[in-house]
Structure 1
Amino acid sequence: MDIAALSIGLAQSNLKQAVGISVLNMSKDQASGDAQALVKMLEQSVQPNLGGNIDIKA
């Protein structure tokens, strides 16, 4: 067994895992920001009187 090769392989594996976690965190942060923007947009577009009355006369 080559200890140096095992060490390099383990380091590369750890790096891949760290990069994957970092990318997922960035994606999560972006999705959170998008969700907050959507909620803010929906709050600004609320019209409380709209749909309160229905005209059912023919």
Structure 2
Amino acid sequence: MDIAKLSTVLSQAQVKQQASLSVMRMMMDTGKVQAGDMLEMLDESVSAPDASHPNLGGKIDIQA
């Protein structure tokens, strides 16, 4: 077995794994930011009802 070839293959595999982990970390960070933004928007929508339609959404008709 060629030691140099094996070393190269292992090194390339390690680089691929590191790149994959870096992309995964970036996606997780992006997801955290987006989730935080979404929660902030939900809090704003609940705390500030629409002034032009104060009764909108106050009742739901569930009769068939």
Interval of TM-score (by shorter of Structure 1 and Structure 2) = 0.7 to 0.9
Structure 2 unaligned runs (5+)?
none
Matched, 1:35 2:35: yes
**Structure 2 length normalisation: TM-score?**
0.73
Matched, 1:18 2:18: yes
Residue 4 of structure 1 deviates from its aligned partner by 0.5
Q: Which consecutive aligned stretches of 4+ in structure 1 deviate over 6 angstroms post-superposition?
A: none
Give CA deviations for 1:2-56 in whole Å, capped at 9, x if unaligned.
10100000000010001001000100100110000000010011057852xx4x8
**Structure 1 length normalisation: TM-score?**
0.80
- Counting matched residue pairs gives 53
List aligned pairs for 1:37-56, cutoff 5 A.
Answer: 37-47=37-47, 51=58, 54=59
